[in-house]
């Protein structure tokens, strides 16, 4: 994926999560997508989508992004907050995105 499109792709990733638009979310992810987060690794686009749709502890959340940072051509980091449906902060996070020609290849999540 061209570096110029990666920031838009990241913003679309969070919009799809927040809107529960799992078809759009799947379209952003490479087939071999991996999400590595504290206490859990989800391997494969379909597994990630199933988790987000059916298994995540709180589906009524939003992900406002405070900043996006670039490291070369293949990685991008998004710093944001996870908010509950009342707007209260659940966690602050940094997600590091890896890309390949098929889209988002990986996300490593760091929280506090």
Q: Tell me whether residue 1 is in a domain.
A: no
Q: Which CATH number covers residue 88?
A: 3.10.450.50
Higher pLDDT, 27 or 4: 27
Domain that holds residue 89: 6-111
Asked if 30 and 46 count as a contact pair (C-beta separation under 8 A), the reply is no
In the predicted structure, residue 2 carries a pLDDT above the cut 70 = no
Place of tokens 């996300």: 107
- Residue 25 domain flag: yes
pTM of the model: 0.92
Res 59 pLDDT > 90: no
Overall average pLDDT of the 7-29 stretch? 96
Does residue 26 lie in a domain region?
A: yes
Q: How many domains would you assign to the chain?
A: 1
Q: How confident is the model at residue 4 (pLDDT cuts 50, 70, 90)?
A: low
**Cα–Cα distance between 76 and 46 in angstroms, integer?**
23
DSSP tag of 88 = -
Average of per-residue pLDDT across 21-31: 97
Element (H, E) at 37: strand 29-37
At a CB cut-off of 8 Å and minimum separation 6, what does 3 contact?
Answer: 70, 73
């Amino acid at each position: 994926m061209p570096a110029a499109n990666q920031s838009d792709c990241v913003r679309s990733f969070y919009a799809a999560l927040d809107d529960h638009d799992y078809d759009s979310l799947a379209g952003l992810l490479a087939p071999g997508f991996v999400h590595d987060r504290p206490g859990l690794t989800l391997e494969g686009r379909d597994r990630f989508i199933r988790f987000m749709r059916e298994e995540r502890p709180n589906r009524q959340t939003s992900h406002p992004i405070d900043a996006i940072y670039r490291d070369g051509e293949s990685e991008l980091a998004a710093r944001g907050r996870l908010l509950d449906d009342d707007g209260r902060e659940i966690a602050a996070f940094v997600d590091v995105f890896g890309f390949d020609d098929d889209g988002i290849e990986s996300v490593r999540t760091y929280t506090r």
